[in-house]
A and B are shown apart, each in its own frame.
Chain A
Amino acid sequence: MRPYLCILGARFRVQLQYRAAALAGTLTQLFWGLIRVMIFDGFYRSSTAVHPISLAQVVSYVWLSQAAFGMLPDRVEPELRDMIRTGNVTSELLRPIDLYWSWFCRCLAMTLIPTLMRSGPLLAVAFAFLELQTPPGAASVLAAAAAFAGGMLVSSAITALLSIGLFWTVSGDGLTRLSVAAAYLFSGMVLPIPLLPEALQRAAALLPYRYVLDVPMRLYLGHIPASEAPMHLAAQLAWLLVLVAAGRGVLSRGLGRLVVQGG
């Protein structure tokens, strides 16, 4: 366990150097959130029908998703990409630790740390001035906390899988881009999942992306009652196991066909 914690710690110190970038990121997220809230507000004011999620909940959903934006699996780990491109990956192979978990930790650090740095100030502003709701009860708080932690792991497993896919350069790049597009739509980042048309909601249910953002956020809002949390957390765990197993499988096949030329 210790070497993995060391990797996380070292990555944490690297990321802390980019405090100005974190501040700029927070401001950008605030601006985007404002645009999205005004658009949803416009749509809700144009219609008198009852919708599957209320405007107040949508507003909170937007602010949570802006705060958790860093959790979205929307890129590969840049250093892994460079290592695979340049052939430096060979030095990774020499380390006496499990390669998959050490890469998983890198991906986790890449998602976890910027999210922690950026979400705090944004959530504070959203609570104080922008009508971010508090969860309906202690059970929802606990369920959401567990689901956000799980979502972070699912997101890292997706990032790890995509990064490993870069062993197959061109097709790996293509898969990454497709996955990023799917992540935006099916995690609830573009639209809250309950507002999607039926067919797309069914597609979202079959994919892991909603367990990264949508499910944790709706548990927080109480839109998914805390009593249903165990079922969703179990599904999230199942996805995590599947993604980890897939990542390990792809990694061992990638290493099997890896050829690095001269030094």
Chain B
Amino acid sequence: MRDAFTLYLRYAAISIRSQLEYRASCAMFAAASFVISAIDFCALWALFRRFGSLQGWKLQEVALLYGMVNVSFALAEGFARGFDSFETMVRNGGFDRLLVRPRSTALQVAGQELQLMRVGRLAQGALVLFWAAGELDVHWSVARLALVAAAVVSGACLFAGLFVLQATLAFWTTSTLEIVNTVTYGGVETAQYPLDVYRPWFRAFFTFVVPLACVNYLPAHALLGRGGVFGAPAWLNWIAPAMGPAFLAAALGVWQMGVRRYCSTGS
């Protein structure tokens, strides 16, 4: 385990060093990533300016949801984006090389690339999160801070799990399915707003199929001192973030199945 961790750090260091060879373009990509994700918040802010509130939610409360999900997504994109280029690896046979190495394949794929430019979204999300935390009338006890951290990490696990699943499909189709973007990018868009505004079927989808609500909406309820959600007891809000790591574990299980049936495409 420690060995795997050191190996990942080594991968990350190599990747960062190679990106820093092109400092100007790296800084620019990060800045662009900041601006693009800031536009989403700009839209959210403009809507609150005009409409005042959203189904009983204030701007600051929604900003908490927004900040948490964006930090989660940026972390997942940064650490697990190696899965994004996985289809090329299957198509050109590059995956064979990983298979002959005596280390976990998932770790090696994840370590292919650590994208520094994701710092842009990370910074933007974190800024909104800190602003919301300061503005909200919440007593930031150790337990609450721990819950924010748990929710953010758990969210990152969930999105990483989705990236893994998307890449796993390449074992069967040799091309990743764009359609999965609807639950990754679409999931971020969805989770930026409180789940109450959506139709019941849509809510159920993002609670039970892709458990995004558990890493974002439910813990936010606990932080804001709101009660249980949709008739569930309030203590559920505190343990809901456990779903993130569980989802990632399940995704890695499916990944292992894919690896077992992998058949090289040849040279």
Contact = CB atoms under 8 A, between A and B. Distances in A.
Interface in B158-190: 177-179, 181-182, 186, 189-190
A7 interface: no
A191 B54 contact: no
A193 B56 CA distance: 25
B46 A27 contact: no
A24 B25 CA distance: 32
Contacts of A47: 50-53
Contacts of A185: 39, 42-43
Interface string B27-69: 0110110011001101100110111111110000000000000
A43 B47 contact: yes
A14 interface: no
A184 B39 CA distance: 8
A41 interface: yes
Nearest to A174: B28
A173 B55 contact: no
Given A184-B36, A197-B49, A25 B178 contact: yes
A35 B189 contact: yes
A196 interface: yes
Given A24-B177, A24-B179, A32-B186, A177 B32 contact: yes
| Majority SS at the chain B contact face | helix
Given A184-B36, A185-B39, A197-B46, A28 B181 contact: yes
Interface string A35-78: 10011011111110001000000000000000000000000000
B52 to A, nearest CB: 6
A178 B25 CA distance: 13
B50 A27 contact: no
Contact of A27 (B28, B29, B179, B193): B179
A42 B193 contact: yes
A184 B47 CA distance: 16
B262 interface: no
Given A43-B54, A44-B51, A46-B53, A35 B186 contact: yes
B54 A46 contact: yes
B97 interface: no
Interface in A169-228: 170, 173-174, 177-178, 180-181, 184-185, 190-191, 195-197, 200
Given A32-B186, A38-B202, A42-B193, A177 B43 contact: no
A10 B181 CA distance: 30
Nearest to B187: A35
| Interface-centre pick from A35, A180, A200 (highest chain B CB count, 10 A) | A35
B130 interface: no
B24 interface: yes
Contacts of B51: 43-44, 46-47, 51
A200 B179 contact: no
Interface in A12-38: 21, 24-25, 27-28, 31-32, 34-35, 38
A38 B52 contact: no
B25 A173 contact: yes
Given A47-B52, A200-B46, A181 B25 contact: no
Given A32-B189, A35-B189, A178-B35, A191 B197 contact: no
A177 B36 CA distance: 8
Interface of B: 24-25, 28-29, 31-32, 35-36, 39-40, 42-43, 46-47, 49-56, 177-179, 181-182, 186, 189-190, 193, 196-199, 202
18 contacts: A25-B178, A31-B186, A35-B190, A38-B199, A42-B196, A43-B47, A43-B50, A46-B51, A46-B55, A170-B24, A174-B28, A178-B35, A181-B32, A181-B39, A184-B39, A190-B39, A195-B50, A200-B42
